[in-house]
Structure 1
Amino acid sequence: MSVSFSKSWPEIVRQLGISTAIFLMVPLLFLLVYFEWLHAPLSVFGVHVRVVAWFAMALAGVRILISLLPIETALRRMLSSLAVGCVFFGFVALYSGVVVGVKLWGRPASLQLVSIYFSQAAATLRVMDISIYWVVGVASLFALIVVGSAYSYLKKYDWALRFRESMSPITSGVVAASLLCLFSVYALSFENREWGAQGEPLSLALFPNQGDLVAQSHHVGLLRMAELQSKHDAARTSYVPSAGVHKSNIIFIVVDALRADHLSLFGYNRKTSPGLERIRSEGAMSVATSAVAVCNESFCGLRGLASSQTVANQAEHPFSVYDVVRKYGYKVNLVLSGDHTNFYGLANMYGRVDSYFDGASQKGRYINDDRILLDRLNAQPKWDGTPTMFQFHLMSAHFLGLRLDETPEFGPGRPYGVIRDWSTSTVESANNYYDRGVLQADAVIGSLLERLKALGYLKDALVVVTGDHGESLGERGLYGHVRGVWEESLRVPFIVIAFGKADPVLLRSSEVISQIDIAPTVLQALGMKVPDVWMGAALQTPYSRRYIDFQQAKLLGLIDTKSREQYKFWVDTQSGNTFTYSLLSDRKEEFDISGKVAPELMNEWREHLKQQSGALPAGVQYR
């Protein structure tokens, strides 16, 4: 039975309005979280609402087409409910990826990164100590609730069915096709709109490279980045290698999330680094101290290590240590656990190298299983005398790293990436789990060195063991990284092991060292010229830099190396609150002494930080 258009139109408009309001509830709730909790720029609102409107338009077209199908009304309603459920699921998945990505990595999770972990879902869930049956059960229940709710709603308020009854089949088909064609046109031009540069979440999920300059943790303006890139390109072009250098092989071993104070090598009360201690006892270890990372996440930490730059001065394609040694005839081989290829374009930072391999390059093991490094090294030919640089990246200490059955436990422990409990037993469990990973990393380092020795690469080599950033294990209510600039978040080991004729790099352990000093120190040991564009200092020379700079998102700070108390000062640039600690007498940063510091000295610190504030999150300004 047909219904007249004039009588049904007000009801169609009313139902369409209600449906639209319900459809917008989830996106609007997410945007509230995105602004208030994740500090996204307000410009995201307009562009993301437009994206949501595209999908609403496509969903409307699909539902009208479903209403034209020559099947029972109940079946049409079920198909419409499934369509609504799929779109709802898509947005929930997108928003969950944004929130989880920002909290774990400082950036929304990209489709490429999610697909890698999804393809290894069983291993990922096992590492996180989550039952796959529990996940499937919860997801199924959630799907049942969503589709069931949609079905119940459409029994009373199905505007698409009323619209179909008010129009001829041809007119309805034309309207549906027009809506879907319009959506297709928008979808095809989506990448070219480059809304990821404004922080639009779907754009960042599909095209993560659009967020290289504007990310959740750090932001560098396009003009500033162009200036930085120009300086690095000029330095790369003008660099002339020094004559008479000693071309020892260079081995960088970076352990993800490795905090210095959890190594027994440095006095930790658990035997977490017996292999490194054995190397020290044999006399090959010339440096065993700690360094301050430039930030508390991998992206800027690895860039800081490779290009000797603080966060605010990191170019997109920096003149890195890999570029420098290649000018001296080195081969550069990167062997990396974890997914660097899809991790927001991180692999682009490494530039041109002779061989590149990471967890995403293989399918035989879990992506964060450090045995893939040994697998790769087992296929490496023996050293032919060509100076070579290796960089290894280990995930054993990371909470997503696979703990192997043969690695001993220090007690009951479980992954802490999603923990929000700060009871004594939970903190102890997190420490047990983390320390087991550190012990495993120590064993992997030993195996790597043993294999490199068998291949001849350690006949003349400098080995550096360090971390990209630290890790929180329940201190101050924090777990993991990407948040905070406390000592446990930033303090990483700096260990140098000399083999054969390599310069032993004898340094004073008491020096205050930044992560950006590591690469210049290695070049100096080999007689190579340190690029003028680098900010770090070779530690064989008198230490003259006053400040060690660090930043994590809106938290901007420094360590005053010339102060007797080794003052650590940082500012929450969003709230304006300041924090000052004496690292000499208060290593655990328990007592804020900002009120006891001379105003003149604090003003000096503030003025210095203004010069380092070029990488604050979008929408945040230094006060």
Structure 2
Amino acid sequence: MKNPHLKILFLKWLPPKHVMKLTLVWFLQATAVIGYVNYTYDGYFMRLFMHWIIVCLLLIVLMIPFDLKSFKIVPSVVRRITLVLILSFVHYFLLCFYVMTILGYKSWSGPFTFELLSAYSGHIDVLLNIYGLSVEAAIIIFLFIWLLIFAGYYYYSGVAAEEFTANENDATQPHSRWPVLVLFLVMIFAIVYSNSYKSWQMSEPLHIAWLNGHGCLRQAPQGIFNKRPLSGEKQSTTSAEPYEGITPRPLVLITVDALRSDQMGVYGAPRETTPFLSHLWRGGKLRRIDNAYSICTTSFCGMIGILSSKYWHQLNEPPVNLADVLKKYNYRNSFLLSGDTTNFFGLRQVLGSHIDLFCDGSIEPKKYANDDRSVLGWLQTYNWKSADRTFLYIHLMSAHIIGLRDPRFKKWLPDKEWDIPKLFYSQRAYQNNYHNGVLQADNTIRQIFEILDREGMLQRALIVITADHGEFLGEFDNFGHGFEPFEPMVRIPMLVYDGLQSNYPERSLSSQVDVAPTMLYAIGAAIPKDWSGIPFQLAAPRKAVYTACYDVSGVVADIGGQRFKFLQKRKGGKEMLFDLDTQKAESINLAAKPDMRKILASMRELNQLTQKSK
């Protein structure tokens, strides 16, 4: 500034250099982590912008007391140590939060919350072991990082003290009014926040973590979280008045989290990961349905889609599900779910109230939530009265990255090998660990069948074995789930065991939405008119199924005996067209090919139906 008086006035209101430099460090740290989450999982800028404001204001407010002249009465050594301890602990907390946020999205495709941390706090050793760390190694690493942070802030505090002394001795008193400026900014923020706090609760990562919110949750349309009274046909569907005229029989649904059909021996995978299921299939006791798709790429919508026979675009409110309908027929609905659905962003509430017995990983705090042996324990003590009117929903976590692996099933090694540049498992280890989990899930299913047989239920039971979604095993350099609905994400198993040997005609395409209607058809019950699925017992006239995720809509269709997939970005409208019957399949986007225009138009028209659905 050419005018020295304006320069002096400007410096009086400007924060000191040490404050601005540290603010920049915190700003870049937040940008790196939240920006990575936004980029990888297609988030939005407002989430990052809100987090910037929270973090920068937090730091500046923490720094103000140490720059006030009134603080001089405190001995310099005490002042310095207090500053170092406060800043190092807060910074360390933020680093831990960022690490947990990234692990959350990589492990369950959702944000980290303190409710989940509380649920798993007693099993940190198990989680660390899953990621290849011992408790001792983790303590050493965490302590080393904190000591580095402490040392950095100790050095920083010396620089800050020198600048503070220099400013105090300067006759122009630079930076003397910056606390007033900060107070003014805090007041403005308080006013803005009070008028937009709901947006902050739904978007800002720290708010979501504290409130167990679902604003950043990509696992289902936001409308499914609404709490509203059911109306019209939905009220009659859930009426307490029992229906008659059915032929009751045991109904069993088994889902394995993150299970891909092409990684199962029963579907012809190179590794025999499913010896029990393969044995049933070869013996003609298991019906294998090919080309089955999940409605989405995450657990929340996958589980709800199976039970409610609805695609992603139809989940605009809490839906009526299979348990609701079966309750009309006096069925006893029992959900035995490995994993903690109670603390998983409100999934338990969306599952509804017509559940007579609900067991998940949260009911036994002393046990690790994702241990499928708990399910077997619940089955051993299950009350099998009125077996014909029993609906069992069993969810297994063996194949999931955070599912507990029994050492007996570690057949393929190494299963814990880190790719340091990626800060994650190597592809070889991730695949080995996954296949070991599938092998364990197969053995757990074998034990479930043995229990059902022992209780005299197997002969009359209808059992459907499927998955909530698939899993990336390094394809497209991705691991885990929650990404766009490419084949590794959405091609799932669909296996039917029918003790009464019902006829199951061939069909070109199947979906999760067909499961619930299949269950109702098996007992002669009426299928709700607003359900989208077609029972496996009937020939399917449709030639297309829908699959989607938070940021992409999609359709898979059979056109002239060939399977095509059409995906479209919800933001920007980018189109992708793939011929799934070719070797490279989803590596080549055919949308711009002139000879594909007719097929592209047909697929686009099918996809547009999802925009019209209410």
TM-score range, shorter chain: 0.7 to 0.9
- Per the alignment, in what secondary structure is the counterpart of residue 392 of structure 1? strand
RMSD: 3.9
The answer to whether residue 572 in structure 2 is matched with residue 570 in structure 1 is no
**In structure 2, what is the equivalent of residue 48 of structure 1?**
51
Consecutive unaligned residues in structure 2, runs of 5 or more: 1-7, 170-178
**In structure 2, what is the equivalent of residue 116 of structure 1?**
119
Deviation at 1:575, TM superposition (A): 5.9
Deviation at 1:597, TM superposition (A): 4.4
Q: Residues 562 and 417 of structure 1: is their aligned pair in 2 closer, same or farther, counting only changes over 3 Å?
A: farther
Identity of aligned residues (%): 25
Q: Residues 244 and 397 of structure 1: is their aligned pair in 2 closer, same or farther, counting only changes over 3 Å?
A: same
1: distance between equivalents of 2:420 and 2:231?
41
**In structure 2, what is the equivalent of residue 125 of structure 1?**
128
2: distance between equivalents of 1:96 and 1:70?
39
The one-letter code of the counterpart of 2:563 is Q
Q: Residues 603 and 116 of structure 1: is their aligned pair in 2 closer, same or farther, counting only changes over 3 Å?
A: same
- Per the alignment, in what secondary structure is the counterpart of residue 139 of structure 1? helix
2: distance between equivalents of 1:567 and 1:512?
11
- Per the alignment, in what secondary structure is the counterpart of residue 120 of structure 1? helix
* Residues 472-491 of structure 1 aligned to structure 2 (within 5 Å): 472-491=472-491
* Residues 26-41 of structure 1 aligned to structure 2 (within 5 Å): 26-41=29-44
Deviation at 1:460, TM superposition (A): 2.9
- Residues 257-293 of structure 1, C-alpha deviation per residue, up to 9 Å, x if partnerless? 1111122222223222121233335554245545101
Instruction: Please list every run of at least 4 consecutive aligned residues from structure 1 whose deviation after the TM superposition is greater than 6 angstroms.
Output: 64-67, 159-166, 189-192, 224-229, 238-241, 415-419
Q: Residues 58 and 325 of structure 1: is their aligned pair in 2 closer, same or farther, counting only changes over 3 Å?
A: farther
**In structure 2, what is the equivalent of residue 172 of structure 1?**
none
Q: Residues 547 and 67 of structure 1: is their aligned pair in 2 closer, same or farther, counting only changes over 3 Å?
A: farther
**In structure 2, what is the equivalent of residue 206 of structure 1?**
210
1: distance between equivalents of 2:538 and 2:241?
21
**In structure 1, what is the equivalent of residue 295 of structure 2?**
294
Q: Which of 413, 421, 432 does residue 415 from structure 2 map onto?
A: 413
1: distance between equivalents of 2:287 and 2:388?
25
2: distance between equivalents of 1:65 and 1:450?
73
Number of residue equivalences: 589
**In structure 2, what is the equivalent of residue 504 of structure 1?**
501
With 550-559 and 462-471 compared, the bigger mean Cα shift is at 550-559
**In structure 2, what is the equivalent of residue 378 of structure 1?**
380
The one-letter code of the counterpart of 2:597 is P
2: distance between equivalents of 1:104 and 1:550?
21
**In structure 2, what is the equivalent of residue 466 of structure 1?**
466
Deviation at 1:419, TM superposition (A): 8.7
1: distance between equivalents of 2:154 and 2:335?
53
Q: Which of 586, 589, 599 does residue 601 from structure 1 map onto?
A: 599
2: distance between equivalents of 1:386 and 1:399?
35
**In structure 2, what is the equivalent of residue 554 of structure 1?**
551
Asked whether the 8 Å contact 1:217–1:553 carries over to 2, the reply is yes
The answer to whether residue 537 in structure 2 is matched with residue 536 in structure 1 is no
Asked whether the 8 Å contact 2:242–2:330 carries over to 1, the reply is no
1: distance between equivalents of 2:57 and 2:237?
45
**In structure 1, what is the equivalent of residue 77 of structure 2?**
74
Deviation at 1:249, TM superposition (A): 1.4
- Residues 430-471 of structure 1, C-alpha deviation per residue, up to 9 Å, x if partnerless? 332222111110110111221233334435321111111111
- Residues 562-596 of structure 1, C-alpha deviation per residue, up to 9 Å, x if partnerless? 43212222234446543333334448545544415
- Per the alignment, in what secondary structure is the counterpart of residue 605 of structure 1? helix
Q: TM-score, normalised by structure 1?
A: 0.83
Q: Residues 422 and 140 of structure 1: is their aligned pair in 2 closer, same or farther, counting only changes over 3 Å?
A: closer
Consecutive unaligned residues in structure 1, runs of 5 or more: 1-5, 167-174, 616-623
Q: Residues 231 and 299 of structure 1: is their aligned pair in 2 closer, same or farther, counting only changes over 3 Å?
A: farther
1: distance between equivalents of 2:579 and 2:424?
26
Asked whether the 8 Å contact 2:577–2:590 carries over to 1, the reply is yes
1: distance between equivalents of 2:69 and 2:82?
7
Deviation at 1:516, TM superposition (A): 0.8
Asked whether the 8 Å contact 2:288–2:496 carries over to 1, the reply is yes
1: distance between equivalents of 2:15 and 2:415?
57
2: distance between equivalents of 1:494 and 1:284?
14
Q: Residues 418 and 331 of structure 1: is their aligned pair in 2 closer, same or farther, counting only changes over 3 Å?
A: farther
Asked whether the 8 Å contact 1:261–1:268 carries over to 2, the reply is yes
Q: Residues 231 and 132 of structure 1: is their aligned pair in 2 closer, same or farther, counting only changes over 3 Å?
A: farther
Q: Residues 538 and 272 of structure 1: is their aligned pair in 2 closer, same or farther, counting only changes over 3 Å?
A: same
2: distance between equivalents of 1:191 and 1:134?
46
1: distance between equivalents of 2:197 and 2:112?
20
Q: TM-score, normalised by structure 2?
A: 0.84
**In structure 2, what is the equivalent of residue 261 of structure 1?**
262
- Per the alignment, in what secondary structure is the counterpart of residue 48 of structure 1? helix
